[in-house]
Copies of this chain bind each other. A is one copy, B any other.
Amino acid sequence: MENFQVTIRELVRCYQAFEQLSNRHIRAMDLTPAQFDIIATLGNTQGMSCRELGEKTLITKGTLTGVLDRLETRGIINRETISEDRRSFRVYLSPKGEVLFENTFTRHLEYIRPFFSDLPEQKLVEMTNTFAELRSKFQD
């Protein structure tokens, strides 16, 4: 077994362990992971186009339409035509969506924070750098 395989396996395990506890909490707040992703991405912004939202969340455009439809039905987001480009929309959080964002995002951070409580700042910085370094291999 080559070394890189072990690294991949630990990357996957680490992510899955995080995802499992994170997603459980997200679903307990009556959102799907994809919906939470969209809401977290739109929070504290002026909104953005579907294209930009898709790039940030890695949700492909066909899928995105469906996810946004469900969020719009629930009154969480709005779509607004923009004057500059009539092919495109600005997708943004409704007032109800803003409240939901503040609420769920804060609660989610509170839920996650304790898992990191005994990691010193320096360690967190090192981890961050490690992850960024590996990612660059996949993207450059």
Contact = CB atoms under 8 A, between A and B. Distances in A.
B109 A5 contact: yes
Contacts of A118: 137
A46 interface: no
Interface in A1-52: 2-8, 10-18, 20-21
A49 B131 CA distance: 34
Q: How many copies does the complex hold?
A: 2
B128 A18 contact: no
Contact of A135 (B10, B109, B125, B134): B10
A87 interface: no
Interface of A: 2-8, 10-18, 20-21, 58, 109, 112-113, 115-116, 118-119, 121, 124-128, 130-132, 134-135, 137-139
